[in-house]
């Protein structure tokens, strides 16, 4: 696979219980990760919303991927990618475990709008905290697009 980073113009948290910050202690690449603190009892789907830098090429990708750190003892979380357009589109949720998780979603798997990835200018990193009704924090790092190198 070939990998290229996704450059974001800005990040914001969605819901009154969620707060984002840079985390220099936890990251898989670079100098910091993006920490998302949340209260799963107050809101079921805390998320970090990121707008792409205008003009950044996103075409030609096969997968979107992110690394997610979950602390020991924070159980019951799932994660999915969201794409906010006229209606919201979401990838299939993946259960998270303690430690670093790498989550990938295929960009041609039917969860995107009919116009496909080319119409997307933002992405949401969404937690499903339905089975985790308490406060917690996770760290996102290395949001990226990946291409399959073997296209037989």
Q: Is the dihedral of CA 91, 95, 98, 100 positive or negative?
A: negative
DSSP alpha helices (H): ranges in the chain? none
Predicted confidence (pLDDT) per residue in 17-28, tens digit: 999 999 999 999
**Residue 108: which of 141, 143, 54, 146 has the closest Cα?**
146
**Mean per-residue pLDDT for 88-116?**
89
Note the pTM of the prediction, 2 decimals.
Answer: 0.91
Lowest-confidence region among 41-45, 66-70, 83-87, 98-102: 83-87
**Mean per-residue pLDDT for 91-95?**
96
What is the average pLDDT score of the chain? 89
Contact in structure between 66 and 101 (CB atoms under 8 Å): no
Contact in structure between 74 and 28 (CB atoms under 8 Å): no
- Give pLDDT, residue 114: 72
Predicted confidence (pLDDT) per residue in 56-80, tens digit: 666 778 899 999 999 999 999 999 9
Contact in structure between 138 and 74 (CB atoms under 8 Å): yes
């Amino acid at each position: 696979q070939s990998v290229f980073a996704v450059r974001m113009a800005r990040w914001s948290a969605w819901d009154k219980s969620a707060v984002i910050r840079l985390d220099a202690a936890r990251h898989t690449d670079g100098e910091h990760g993006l920490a998302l603190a949340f209260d799963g009892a107050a809101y079921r789907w805390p998320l970090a919303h990121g707008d792409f830098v205008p003009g950044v090429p996103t075409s030609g990708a096969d997968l979107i991927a992110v690394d997610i750190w979950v602390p020991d003892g924070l159980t019951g979380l799932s994660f999915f990618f969201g794409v906010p357009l006229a209606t919201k589109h979401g990838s299939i949720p993946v259960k998270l475990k303690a430690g670093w998780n790498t989550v990938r979603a295929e960009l041609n798997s039917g969860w995107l709008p009919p116009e496909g990835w080319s119409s997307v200018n933002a992405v949401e990193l969404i937690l499903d905290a339905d089975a985790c009704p308490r406060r917690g924090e996770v760290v996102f790092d290395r949001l990226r697009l990946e291409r399959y190198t073997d296209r037989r």
